[in-house]
Amino acid sequence: MCAYYDLGGEGVAYHDTDPQNHGSGELNKVDGTYLNEFRIHEGVDTSYTKFDRKPNPIDDNPFDKVVPPAELLYVGWTEPGEWFNITVNVKRSGTYAADFLYTSNRGGTISIDVNGKDATGPLEITSTKDPADTVAWRQWHHWNLASQLFKVRLNKGKTVLTVHILTGGNMNLAYFDFKQVHE
């Protein structure tokens, strides 16, 4: 879950190009709810999937390649040079393939570090922009699942993954789903 990136602040747990969270507290107005105020005082831009909005559906729209879960937190408003850490506890050493739930208005590349070392090189993220969708702002809400976007060797125990936005930006990053593969 990308929105559950590590604690520690700018330059330690993440780098964002500006200190404002453009989702929580800005797009999603302060109203005392968990989803609208999630990590509101941190620079990483977070939001969540919104369903059943009329007249224009947002994240449950007909241009989705896959329909994401409702009220799923995600990292958005990404720009090249930004990054965030996610600490995970690996139960078994092995090689893992990762599926990736995302949107991308213009395509681009990301990379993943494992414990501070590049583990993937640049990973191509296919644009989800669809010219058939005439609602301009919704171009940021066409969800897709990249099946086995990458494979990586992970050792048992605490592991820090760093997600880097290399090129393109304008992506919403929901989650990586790791499944152990047998080689």
Domain boundaries, the chain: 2-181
Positions in the chain short of pLDDT 50: none
CA distance 165 to 112: 9
The distance of Cα 86 from the centroid of its chain, to the nearest Å, equals 11
Residue-wise pLDDT for 153-167, tens only, equals 999 999 999 999 999
pTM of the model: 0.95
The distance of Cα 81 from the centroid of its chain, to the nearest Å, equals 15
CATH class of this structure's domain 2-181: mainly beta
pLDDT at 183: 66
